[in-house]
Chains A and B, each alone.
Chain A
Amino acid sequence: MSNPYIPFASKILDVKKHTQKEYTFRMEYHGEVKPGQFFEVSVPKFGEAPISVSGIGDGYVELTIRRVGRVTNEVFENYVGDSLLMRGPYGNGFDISIFDHGETLVVAGGTGVSPVRGVIEALAASPAAKDTHVIVGFRSPADMLFRSDLEEWKDKLDLVLTVDGAPEGYAGNIGLVTKYIPQIQLRDVSAAKAIVVGPPPMMRFSIMGFLDMGFREENIWVSNERKMCCGLGKCGHCRIGDKYVCLDGPVFNYTESKNLID
């Protein structure tokens, strides 16, 4: 009988700094993993935190970590050559085969970009790239994550990058993601698929925007963030109704998630 709570040590292969408080850690990992899944990352003596996979490659996964809590603050004290303890991956993740044909609109805000980054990359590399629309929002220009990815995506798919607010003289888009949703040009919205990940109010209003445009409920997917201690369906923290976000999610079809009342 193996103990699923015992973490393994994973070497930090690279650290990319996006902002003062958001870094991407490239961690050694060999095994199956899907975008939208998460690992429980721990620093002994400080605890564990669920972190979504923001990138997947041969022999590694990337975790984009925001310095906001007790555990994540401590993670920032670790650098290349050190290791972190991890267990996972947990959760269902995104099924790319649903999105790699036809039109797709991906809306992501802030660190919500992490769980969909793998989806966007897969779509950008597929024939569906020309039918892929991405709206990414950050609080301000200084809060932008994945700048080099954004540059690359711009050339491959229809990308709208926006910030909630910016200092005077900023040349890019300003406004909430919901401002840009109705402007996306789709050939057949009734068959198009949408993904939204971000803070709860952003997800709520984005979904209202999708429905107003004519997206079907069953073509909308969300990824939920919740407190998770175990990732195994035991601790209870992530339960909503009869669903466990760690087991049944974090990715939910809207027809399911609309009935999940916190």
Chain B
Amino acid sequence: MGFVFSRDGFAEVIRQLGSRYRIYAPVLKKGEGRFTDTDVVRYDYVKNFDEIELEKRSDYSFKEILLPVSGTLFYFTEDKVTEPEMDDREILVFVRSCDLHAVKRFDQIYLHNGQERDWFYERVRDRLKFVLIGCRESFDDCFCVDMHTNESTDGYVFSVEEADGEIYSDLKEEGLRELFSGNSVREEDKAPAHVETNKIFVSVPDEVPVSICKDKVWDEYDSRCIGCGRCTLVCPTCTCFTMEDIYYSDNGKVGERRRVHASCMIDGYSNVAGGGEYRKKHGERMRFKVLHKISDFKKKFGYQMCVGCGRCDMVCPEYISFSECINKVDRAIRSAEDGKEAQA
């Protein structure tokens, strides 16, 4: 069921939802970008509708709610191990369609890879509900259409998008009908907006032969990539973490074990005790990351990992394009196949 609101009407909905839920949404942070006088859109808890950025794509993804940049797993006190308490309230997370698809990838790893479900992940995940931000236009570097994540028909409580000064919302949860109808100007069924075409096109190879690992397509990244890992830190489908222990300098008997973001692009990711290290070259790391996103994950779980949000292209300080890399890999595979056929 669909509703149309004035901005004020919808603000009232958000205000009332705020007493039941915590609201986690993209927020435009003025002057907090990487360079002087630049802005950044990051996720944060909000109280008011006005704080939510509905037009720009967030530079960092929603994933920090599920996998905080640094999160305490438990405290060590003397001989006891204690898990931290957490806020009981449910959380409404505002996401675009690509990110909603990314949640499925997170669930795949944290809940369904291996026998064990991740306790820390699940207790947050159980509290999350999603609000779909409609995409009326593609951003410059999105390629969601080719990754089949441009549309979401379920998995959200309600949708939100702004058109001609009005807010359109597709409500899925019956329990909110009264709140929505009471504050709307009219009822009107309208599927959440989604883009049908992007400016970027990728051709994802159906089969990736092992031989591509040795292809020269990766060589350029040895020098172009600086191994900063930004691409993976903004990625809504990068799920890796490292655990580390710290102790409090004032009391050496007390400390905590933390989980922090980890990245296969950053030094130290594969280091084993005694000095062993895999993938020292940045081109090898690029290969490891790209093939995970477009082949290895799919081999294991049956669908592509990359959702085509394009954030990695925008954040790279060396202007490396992930989507262009996919196309380069595809061309390399095709030309290798053509070469084989020509020989035969």
User: Which residues does A use to contact B, with CB under 8 Å?
Assistant: 1-7, 9, 42, 44-49, 66, 68-69, 71-72, 199-200, 225-227, 229-230, 232-237, 239, 241-242, 244, 246-247, 259, 261-262
Are B83's CB and A3's CB within 8 A? yes
Are B243's CB and A234's CB within 8 A? no
The reply to whether the CB of B48 lies closer than 8 angstroms to some CB of chain A is no
Q: Mark B61-86, 1 if CB is under 8 A from A, else 0.
A: 00000000000011010010101000
CB-CB < 8 A to B284: which residues of A? 262
Given that A45-B76, A232-B118, A247-B113 are contacting pairs, would A66 and B273 also be in contact in the complex, using a CB cutoff of 8 Å?
yes
Q: Mark B236-275, 1 if CB is under 8 A from A, else 0.
A: 0001111111110000100101000010100001111111
CB-CB < 8 A to B296: which residues of A? 239, 241-242
> What would be 26 A-B contacts, judged by CB atoms less than 8 Å apart?
A1-B119, A1-B122, A5-B257, A6-B74, A44-B257, A45-B247, A45-B252, A46-B245, A47-B257, A71-B273, A199-B276, A229-B243, A232-B118, A233-B109, A233-B116, A234-B121, A234-B239, A235-B240, A236-B241, A236-B262, A236-B264, A242-B296, A247-B113, A247-B114, A262-B270, A262-B288
When chains A and B are docked, how far (Å) is the Cα of A1 from the Cα of B116? 10
The reply to whether the CB of B176 lies closer than 8 angstroms to some CB of chain A is no
CB-CB < 8 A to B274: which residues of A? 66, 68-69
Are A236's CB and B239's CB within 8 A? yes
Are A69's CB and B116's CB within 8 A? no
Are A261's CB and B114's CB within 8 A? no
When chains A and B are docked, how far (Å) is the Cα of A246 from the Cα of B83? 24
Minimum-distance CB pairs A-B, first 7: A233-B114, A69-B273, A236-B240, A68-B274, A3-B119, A242-B299, A45-B247
CB-CB < 8 A to A4: which residues of B? 116, 118-119
Given that A225-B276, A247-B114 are contacting pairs, would A237 and B240 also be in contact in the complex, using a CB cutoff of 8 Å?
yes
CB-CB < 8 A to B245: which residues of A? 42, 44-47
B323 to A: closest C-beta gap in Å: 22
Are A234's CB and B246's CB within 8 A? no
CB-CB < 8 A to B257: which residues of A? 5, 44, 47
The reply to whether the CB of B278 lies closer than 8 angstroms to some CB of chain A is yes
CB-CB < 8 A to A229: which residues of B? 241-243, 262
CB-CB < 8 A to B241: which residues of A? 229-230, 234-236
When chains A and B are docked, how far (Å) is the Cα of A239 from the Cα of B240? 10
CB-CB < 8 A to A66: which residues of B? 273-274
B274, B299, B300 — most chain A CB neighbours (10 Å)? B274
When chains A and B are docked, how far (Å) is the Cα of A226 from the Cα of B297? 19
Extra 7 A-B pairs, beta carbons < 8 Å, given A3-B120, A261-B213: A1-B119, A6-B83, A237-B262, A241-B296, A244-B114, A247-B113, A262-B270
CB-CB < 8 A to B113: which residues of A? 233-234, 244, 247
When chains A and B are docked, how far (Å) is the Cα of A227 from the Cα of B274? 11
A-B contact count (CB 8 A): 119
Are B81's CB and A230's CB within 8 A? no
The interface size of chain B toward A, counting residues with CB under 8 Å, comes to 51
When chains A and B are docked, how far (Å) is the Cα of A46 from the Cα of B292? 31
CB-CB < 8 A to A242: which residues of B? 296-297, 299-300
A179 to B: closest C-beta gap in Å: 23
A145 to B: closest C-beta gap in Å: 14
Given that A225-B276, A232-B116 are contacting pairs, would A241 and B264 also be in contact in the complex, using a CB cutoff of 8 Å?
no
A1, A3, A4, A49 — most chain B CB neighbours (10 Å)? A3
B240 to A: closest C-beta gap in Å: 3
CB-CB < 8 A to A235: which residues of B? 240-243, 262
Given that A4-B119, A44-B76 are contacting pairs, would A237 and B243 also be in contact in the complex, using a CB cutoff of 8 Å?
no
Given that A45-B255, A229-B241, A247-B113 are contacting pairs, would A200 and B276 also be in contact in the complex, using a CB cutoff of 8 Å?
yes
When chains A and B are docked, how far (Å) is the Cα of A63 from the Cα of B276? 20
Question: Which single residue of chain B is at the shortest CB-CB distance from A71?
Answer: B273
The reply to whether the CB of B49 lies closer than 8 angstroms to some CB of chain A is no
Are A44's CB and B120's CB within 8 A? no
The reply to whether the CB of B15 lies closer than 8 angstroms to some CB of chain A is no
When chains A and B are docked, how far (Å) is the Cα of A3 from the Cα of B56? 38
> Which residues 104-121 of B sit at the A interface, judged by CB distance below 8 A?
109-110, 113-114, 116-121
Are B279's CB and A262's CB within 8 A? yes
When chains A and B are docked, how far (Å) is the Cα of A237 from the Cα of B242? 8
When chains A and B are docked, how far (Å) is the Cα of A66 from the Cα of B275? 12
Given that A3-B119, A5-B119, A232-B116 are contacting pairs, would A47 and B243 also be in contact in the complex, using a CB cutoff of 8 Å?
yes
The reply to whether the CB of B210 lies closer than 8 angstroms to some CB of chain A is yes
When chains A and B are docked, how far (Å) is the Cα of A230 from the Cα of B240? 10
